[in-house]
Amino acid sequence: MDVCYIATPTEKVKINRIGLLLKGHSNNPYVSDKEKTLRAEWQELKARATREKDVKTIDAAAEKRSEQVSEMEKSEPKILRDLRAGLIRHCAVSQLLDPWYMNSNTHGTGAANINDQQSKVEKGHAHHLHITIREPGII
C-alpha cells in the first residue's frame, strides 16, 4: 500500500523528499539546505576515506554522516515518525519504505537504513510511504 499524504486535524504532510539530490536552494520543506550541504560534505569525505583508507578521514566521514542524519531527522514530521512507530509494532506489517527510512524487514533485528535516494528502490520511495502487509485475510 502506498501512502502519499497523512493528516491530523491540524497538520497535513505530503510524504516527499524530492529535491535532496537537486543542486541549489531546497524548495521542499522536508529537505533543508543545511542537510544538502552536510550530505555533499559527507559524500566527499566518504569518497576520500574509501580512496585513502586513513582512520582520521574514516572517522570524519562517520561524524559528518551523523550530523547529516540529525539534520534530516529535524525535518521529519512528527506525525510520520509516530505513524511509522505504530506500524512497525504491528504483526501484519512486514516492510516500511519511505523518503526518510527504508526498513525492508520490520520484524528483523537490523535497524532501518537511511533513504539516500541512490538505489532504484530508494529513489522509488522518495515520495511516498510504502507499507507491505502480510495478512492472509486480505487478498
Between 29 and 124, name the residue whose CB sits nearer to Zn ion. 124
Q: What is the DSSP letter of 111?
A: P
Please tell me whether residue 123 binds Zn ion under the rule CB under 5 A. Answer: no
Q: What is the DSSP letter of 13?
A: E
Helix (H) or strand (E) holding 65: helix 55-74
Please give the radius of gyration of the chain, using alpha carbons only, rounded to the nearest integer.
17
* Amino acid letter for position 104: S
Between 72 and 129, name the residue whose CB sits nearer to Zn ion. 129
> Least distance to Zn ion from the beta carbon of 124, Å?
7
Task: Find out whether 119 and 111 touch, Cβ atoms under 8 Å.
Answer: no
Among 18, 43, 130, 132, indicate the residue that binds Zn ion (CB under 5 A): 130
Please tell me whether residue 1 binds Zn ion under the rule CB under 5 A. Answer: no
> Least distance to Zn ion from the beta carbon of 35, Å?
23
Please tell me whether residue 48 binds Zn ion under the rule CB under 5 A. Answer: no
- From the number of C-beta atoms within 10 Å of its C-beta (0-12, 13-18, 19+), residue 36 rates as buried
> Least distance to Zn ion from the beta carbon of 12, Å?
20
Among 2, 44, 59, 73, indicate the residue that binds Zn ion (CB under 5 A): 2
- For Zn ion, the binding residues (CB under 5 A) are 2, 130
